[in-house]
Amino acid sequence: MSKVVQTQVNETVYKALETIVRKRRVTIKDAVREAIVSWIGLQTPVADDPLLRLKPVKTGVKTDASKLDETLYGGRRD
């Protein structure tokens, strides 16, 4: 179920929004929805982020990070 959220902005804000949505080729509705989701993310404490509450999973695959820098950067980093 979805809810309608309605607000008012001044003309300067609206014109800036119009310019951006035109460049991005999205609707004002989609841009505002994206802005709300982003704002909610900024207001959520990092400690409440479910990604940071994940526990390590043993996969049975052995890894060796000793050559990671060499692999990523093409040489040893000491």
Asked if the structure places residue 57 within a domain, the reply is no
User: Could you tell me the sign of the dihedral formed by the alpha carbons of 14, 18, 19, 25, in that order?
Assistant: positive
Its domain, for residue 10, covers 1-48
11: domain CATH number?
Answer: 1.10.1220
**C-alpha to C-alpha distance for 55 and 60, rounded to whole angstroms:** 15
What pTM was computed for the model? 0.59
Asked whether the predicted pLDDT for residue 77 surpasses 60, the reply is: no
Q: How many domains does the chain have?
A: 1
Q: What is the pLDDT of residues 29-74, one digit of tens each?
A: 999 999 999 999 899 888 888 888 888 888 888 888 888 888 888 8
Asked if the structure places residue 31 within a domain, the reply is yes
Place of tokens 């900024």: 42
Asked if the structure places residue 6 within a domain, the reply is yes
